[in-house]
Chains A and B, each alone.
Chain A
Amino acid sequence: MVAIVDYGVGNLFSLKSSFEMIGVETVVTSDEGVLDAADRIILPGVGAFEDAAKKLRETGLGDAVKKQAAKGKPIMGICLGMQLLFDKSFEYGEHEGLGLIKGEIRPIADVITKDLKIPHIGWNALRFSGEKHKIFKYLNEGDFVYFVHSYYAADCDEAVIATAEYGAELTAAAAQGNVCGCQFHPEKSGDVGLKILKAFCEMEA
């Protein structure tokens, strides 16, 4: 059973449907007991970092996720959910994240060339960093995934497991131990995305 953390941020329809498609049961929850009972956890999210971080704090769900991470449960953050796993973000100020992956979130405008549009939106190819991570076991280098973001994970070289080229090598996915995150949307990346979710569901707890 995969628990999708519901803290009032984002649209979970496609995420739920994509797990259904690969035959994995999900539960959308804001209950700590349910998170504890689940085999693995998805932290979704779209919108602004500050808002989302605040909701995670106020609902206690941020701490609950951290507790599960400490137990060694596989956790995947998606898009803003991935960014929330890091130490902090510089999106409109400076805001604390969950600190499960070492690094910080910065504007892509800092590193990409001026002629490129922001957000980085559309299909881009994955380049694996180092040894192929378990969530990519069914993928080939160069497979395309769908991105929509204006901020990226910086200063996290050790955790980077894939990048995408957009006037700079942007962090496409990162992992630290049993915690991983995708900047792109697996649930909107066609078959490639489903393969990532499938591999995540096969990651050992």
Chain B
Amino acid sequence: MITKRIIPCLDVRNGRVVKGVNFEGVSDVSSPVELAKHYSDSGADELVFYDITASVEGRALFTDILKEVARTIFIPLTVGGGINAVEDFDRVLKCGADKVSVNSGAIRNPELIYEAAKRYGDQCVVISADVKRVDGVFRVFAKGGRENTGMEAVQWIKRCVDMGAGEVVLNSIDTDGVKQGFDLEMLDAVCNAVSVPVIASGGAGGIRDFVELFDKIPKVDAGLAASIFHFGEVEIKDLKTALRQNGVPVRL
């Protein structure tokens, strides 16, 4: 039986992890390599690296880091942030990434999904969508959630999947940072509209939120979170043990 995946997300700027606390046995929590190793050893099923660097020099630093991670950690790695062209896919895939997540780049140029899927396969292309309710309608936001594109979210995600996106990361701006649980209503709408794996993001505050997620939305494939893992509020091992106790299939 396929297991539900738990995915920590690391925000990286100029080669360093943006936020974090000290874990036992991790000497430098700002080091993406050390933190990634810690997560992998704790049972993370995949890792997402989000590059929030703006400069070209920073990007080069990021790809060096990525190589270093891919040399030491043997679980699937997804890279997002600043992916605007097929060349960007090429750059990170050569450094050991397995999947590439596109967001604003696909909004600007939806053909990017098609081009990348054709070249690297559907399984390699992840559409990441930042979604927020505006007057009761799910709308897609661009530029890190700052700009309303006016597009209806479920239709947009369906379109991306039709063009070749093999996986969806659905980030609810409404629940992000609130720590009161994932956006079940939004996830349900997207899970019912597409047949590719959907990864829930935004809103996890504790173990109970993951249990509720997989219980209420059985179609969802994975839960992604950043801060609760970085700040040690939830240990991945404890989370997966609790999920198994609640009848959710996980890799332990």
A188–B222 CA distance with the chains assembled, in angstroms: 17
Within 8 A of B (CB), among A1-49: 11, 13-14, 17-18, 20-21, 46-48
Q: Which residues of B contact A144 (CB under 8 A)?
A: 3, 251
Among candidates A20, A117, A124, residue contacting B71 with C-beta atoms closer than 8 Å: A20
Within 8 A of B (CB), among A167-205: 187-191, 193-194
A27–B67 CA distance with the chains assembled, in angstroms: 18
**Chain A 106-129 near chain B by CB (<8 Å), digits 1 or 0:** 000000000001111111110000
B93 in the interface, Cβ–Cβ < 8 Å? yes
A13–B69 CA distance with the chains assembled, in angstroms: 11
Q: Which residues of A contact B1 (CB under 8 A)?
A: 124-125, 165-166
Within 8 A of A (CB), among B16-45: 40, 45
Q: Which residues of A contact B151 (CB under 8 A)?
A: none
Count residues on chain B whose CB falls below 8 Å from chain A CBs. Answer: 30
Residue of B nearest to A189 (CB): B74
Among candidates B71, B75, B93, B120, residue contacting A146 with C-beta atoms closer than 8 Å: B75
- Contact yes or no, B94 A13, CB < 8 A: yes
In the assembled complex, how far is the CB of residue B170 from the closest CB belonging to chain A, in whole angstroms? 15
Give the number of A-B contacts (CB < 8 Å): 82
A127–B50 CA distance with the chains assembled, in angstroms: 35
A200–B93 CA distance with the chains assembled, in angstroms: 26
- Contact yes or no, B3 A117, CB < 8 A: no
Among candidates A47, A166, A188, residue contacting B98 with C-beta atoms closer than 8 Å: A188
A17-B96, A117-B196 in contact; A122/B221 too (CB < 8 A)? yes
- Contact yes or no, A190 B75, CB < 8 A: yes
A148 in the interface, Cβ–Cβ < 8 Å? yes
Most interface-central of A13, A21, A188 (chain B CB within 10 A): A13
- Contact yes or no, A123 B45, CB < 8 A: yes
A191–B167 CA distance with the chains assembled, in angstroms: 25
- Contact yes or no, B2 A120, CB < 8 A: yes
A190–B242 CA distance with the chains assembled, in angstroms: 22
Residue of A nearest to B198 (CB): A117
- Contact yes or no, B74 A190, CB < 8 A: yes
Q: Which residues of B contact A146 (CB under 8 A)?
A: 75-76
A17–B1 CA distance with the chains assembled, in angstroms: 29
Among candidates B72, B75, B123, residue contacting A121 with C-beta atoms closer than 8 Å: B123
B195 in the interface, Cβ–Cβ < 8 Å? yes
Among candidates A21, A47, A119, A120, residue contacting B74 with C-beta atoms closer than 8 Å: A21
A21–B40 CA distance with the chains assembled, in angstroms: 15
B181 in the interface, Cβ–Cβ < 8 Å? no
A165–B96 CA distance with the chains assembled, in angstroms: 28
B5 in the interface, Cβ–Cβ < 8 Å? yes
Within 8 A of B (CB), among A142-172: 144, 146-148, 165-166
Residue of A nearest to B250 (CB): A123
Q: Which residues of B contact A11 (CB under 8 A)?
A: 93-94, 96, 98
Among candidates A46, A117, A120, A124, residue contacting B121 with C-beta atoms closer than 8 Å: A46
- Contact yes or no, B70 A122, CB < 8 A: no
In the assembled complex, how far is the CB of residue B126 from the closest CB belonging to chain A, in whole angstroms? 11
Interface of B with A (CB < 8 Å)?
Answer: 1-3, 5, 40, 45, 67, 70-72, 74-76, 93-96, 98, 120-123, 166-167, 195-197, 221-222, 251
Other 14 A-B pairs with CB < 8 A, given A188-B74, A188-B76, A190-B74: A13-B67, A13-B94, A14-B74, A17-B70, A46-B121, A47-B121, A48-B121, A119-B123, A122-B3, A122-B222, A123-B5, A146-B76, A189-B75, A191-B74
Listed A/B pairs (27) with beta-carbon separation below 8 Å: A11-B96, A14-B74, A14-B96, A17-B71, A17-B72, A21-B72, A21-B74, A46-B121, A46-B123, A47-B121, A117-B196, A117-B197, A121-B166, A121-B167, A121-B197, A122-B2, A122-B3, A122-B45, A122-B221, A123-B2, A123-B3, A124-B1, A144-B3, A146-B76, A166-B1, A188-B76, A190-B75
